[in-house]
Amino acid sequence: MLSRVQLKRIPNCRQFSVVSRVCKWNDIPLAPPDKILGISEAFVKDTNAKKVNLGVGAYRDNSGKPIVFDSVKSAEAKLLETETEKEYTGIIGNKNFQKVVRNFIFNNSGKDANGAKLIDANRIVTSQTISGTGSLRVIADFLNRFNSAKKIYVPKPTWANHIAVFTDAGISAEYYDYYNKEINNLDYDKLKKSLANADEGSVVLLHACCHNPTGMDLTSEQWDEVLSIVQQKKLFPLIDMAYQGFASGNPYKDIGLIRRLNELVVSGDISTYALCQSFAKNMGLYGERTGSISIVTESAEHTTAIESQLKKLIRPMYSSPPIHGSKIVETIFADESLYNAWLSDLDQVVSRLNTVRTKLYEKLDKSNYNWDHLLKQRGMFVYTGLSAEQVIELREKYSVYATEDGRFSISGINDNNVDYLADAMNQVVNK
């Protein structure tokens, strides 16, 4: 047993009432709450009956309740009858899920000839991951191991977790200009200039559609110009696609960037890129944590090597991904009626979001503030342009909870609270 004197010599170890118990931990400081999840925690504690949660990006219906897609319920019912085992899947998921993802995204279900060529040439490695965040972390670790560049450029602003994911994996992150809050619009000239000044060979993060948090996407012509800069600077494109389908209601209309990249690879203008994707939003599989990472490679030989290293990386991380969500995805894509039902479910969700967006806009006072940018934005969010002080006032006076950058998750708006919310927003803007 250690004496009191010996215990005092142990650094960063606090004395307890039983001195013989030696502390095994250094002092651990209290971490700040997650900026988004902390909002939900504060919302739950609020006793105001009129409180509104506009923080977390998860869909809610017009009653303010979470849903399960009818197509997903039907797929689960089918699985209940046909599923015979709950065995582990492979380290990078099962081959059928990989095939479904590649056909869905790169072949565009038979509509992208360039994507089909890449698949046929065995130039795409696909791994199931633990949803979108998991796919980002896997590619971050992979790039840290095998990419000579240790820097990634992300749009300013971007999803709050992007910076943490990459810096924790050892990749330094810098911003490129994207949005101008003073005019509530895309800052396209600065975007091009900042990418043109990026370090050659670095990684660049691009949002495929429904840019989070601004909801402002590039046109096809603008994407062509940006991709021209990517080629000139030899940047490695990393595509984050969390909201496929939420721009138009149709998942195939939302991947113009992917089709353009496939074209550039086939033509030899770029050699490789990577894509992180999730079924959390467009199938409502939030808690199932079902996503993927795909890497378009330079050759079939590179594919074999990259796949082997992905397996080596993932094995000590989480060994293999969960299977229930991936089986739902496979079941839906294997059954034409379920597949069409899913497309209909997704379209209805996006239609409601667009209706809510319009209703909120119509109820806002335009006399002292121009709200037109709300109608230009797409996806699950509106980037209001409100200041942090105004957002805090909304929270403290009206129990309206949102991130302090002014991003509102519009799925939290419904017929029961849209008038209250619009009035609160008018109050803080027009005071």
**pLDDT of 149:** 85
What number is the average pLDDT over the span 130-141?
A: 98
Cα separation of 144 and 138, whole Å? Answer: 10
Indicate the pLDDT class of residue 21, thresholds 50, 70 and 90. Answer: low
281 among known catalytic residues: yes
Q: Would the pLDDT of 1 be above 60?
A: no
Cα separation of 127 and 105, whole Å? Answer: 13
Pairing label, strands 203-207, 236-241: parallel
Indicate the pLDDT class of residue 427, thresholds 50, 70 and 90. Answer: very high
What are 62-113's pLDDT values in tens digits?
999 999 999 999 999 999 999 999 999 999 999 999 999 999 999 987 789 9
* Per annotation, catalytic residue among 141, 240, 254, 345: 240
Helix (H, G, I), strand (E, B), or coil: what is residue 383?
strand
All structural domains of the chain, each given as residue ranges with its CATH number in brackets, are: 32-69+339-430 (3.90.1150.10), 88-334 (3.40.640.10)
Q: Would the pLDDT of 15 be above 80?
A: no
The reported pTM is 0.92
342 among known catalytic residues: no
Percent of the chain with pLDDT over 70: 95
Q: Would the pLDDT of 283 be above 60?
A: yes
What number is the average pLDDT over the span 315-340?
A: 98
* Per annotation, catalytic residue among 112, 141, 159, 371: 159
**pLDDT of 5:** 47
Spatial neighbors of 279 by CB under 8 A, at least 6 apart, are 131, 285, 288, 290, 291, 325, 329
Average pLDDT, the chain: 93
Q: Would the pLDDT of 17 be above 80?
A: no
Pairing label, strands 400-401, 407-409: unpaired
- Joined together, the tokens standing for residue 288 give 């199932």
Q: Would the pLDDT of 16 be above 50?
A: no
* Per annotation, catalytic residue among 51, 281, 345, 405: 281
**pLDDT of 108:** 80
Q: Would the pLDDT of 160 be above 90?
A: no
Question: How is 134-198 classified by DSSP, letter by letter?
Answer: HHHHHHHHHHHHH-S--EEEEEES--HHHHHHHHHTT-EEEEEE-EETTTTEE-HHHHHHHHHTS
- Joined together, the tokens standing for residue 20 give 């013989």
25 among known catalytic residues: no
**pLDDT of 214:** 96
Which of 27-41, 258-272, 297-311, 382-396 comes out lowest in average pLDDT? 27-41
What are 173-192's pLDDT values in tens digits?
999 999 999 999 999 999 99
Q: Would the pLDDT of 54 be above 70?
A: yes
What are 199-258's pLDDT values in tens digits?
999 999 999 999 999 999 999 999 999 999 999 999 999 999 999 999 999 999 999 999
Q: Would the pLDDT of 49 be above 90?
A: yes
**pLDDT of 19:** 46
